[in-house]
Amino acid sequence: MKDKISNLLLISGHPDLSRSVANQQILERLQDCSQIKIHKLDEVYPSYRIDVLKEQELLTQADIIVLQFPLYWSTYPALMKLWFDEVFTYNFAFGPEGDKLKSKKVILSITCGATESSYQPGEFNFLPLDQYLQAAVHPIKAAQMEIIDTVITFEMNSTPDEGGDQNTVMQLAQQHVDRLTNLFNQLT
C-alpha cells in the first residue's frame, strides 16, 4: 500500500469479533496497513453506550470511511445500527446545518454467509441484495456522503452445521482484503 492514503478510518460493526472468523480475519490482515485506523465498535462499546462526540470527531477527521460489517438479516448488526442512530444526528449528519459529513467518501465492506445466488426472487433471501441494502445506506445518503465502492464477499460461513467451512472462509477473507487494498491503492 502506498503512503499517500491518510485519514483512512475503518469502522468495524461486528458485535463480537471474538466469535467471528471472517470479519476478525479481515481486520487482522488489514491492521498491518499503517495507513488504516481500525475502530472496533465491539471493543470500544461492549455495553452499547456510544460516545457520540468522540465518534463524530473520528468521522470528521477521516477522508475515507470504510464500514466493515457482516450482513445480519440483510442489514448491519444491532451495534452498528445503534452507532448510526446515535452518531448521525440532526445538524451533524443531516438537517439545516447537518453537513459535517458531506462529500466524505465511503466504502462498504460486507461479509455474507449466504451464497450470492440466494439473493434472488424465489430463493432463500427472496430479494436482490441491493434492495436489502437500501435501508442500510439511507443514513449515508442522508449525510450526503459518497459511496465510492462496495466490496462484498459471499459464502463467509465457517459453521460446519450450516454448511460452512473455516478453510474456505480464510481464503475468502484474504481475497476480500486483497480487493480492499487494491481499491485503497487506486484512491491514492
For a pLDDT cut of 70, what percent of the chain falls above it? Answer: 84
- pLDDT digits over 113-150, tens only? 777 666 767 766 567 667 778 888 999 999 999 999 99
Say if CB 125 and CB 175 are below 8 A apart.
Answer: no
DSSP states of the chain = --TT--SEEEEE--S-GGG-SHHHHHHHHHTT-TTEEEEEHHHH-TT----HHHHHHHHHH-SEEEEEEE-BTTB--HHHHHHHHHHS-BTTTBSTT--TTTT-EEEEEEE-SS-GGGSSTTSTT-S-HHHHHHHHHHHHHHTT-EEEEEEEE------GGGT--HHHHHHHHHHHHHHHHHHHHHT-
- Determine the Cα–Cα distance for residues 188 and 177; give it in Å rounded to an integer: 17
| pLDDT one-digit tens code per residue, 143-172 | 999 999 999 998 887 564 555 577 888 899
In 3D space, the residue among 6, 2, 10, 14 whose CA is nearest the CA of residue 111 turns out to be 14
Question: Where are the domains positioned within the chain?
Answer: 8-186
Average pLDDT of the chain is: 87
Mean of pLDDT values over 7-20: 94
Q: What is the Cα–Cα distance from 138 to 61, expressed in whole angstroms?
A: 22
- Please state which CATH class domain 8-186 belongs to: alpha beta
What pLDDT does 2 receive? 40
Lowest mean pLDDT among 7-21, 94-108, 114-128: 114-128
**CA–CA distances in Å: residue 59 to residues 11, 19, 84, 97, 172:** 10, 27, 12, 16, 29
Sign of CA dihedral 147, 93, 100, 32: negative
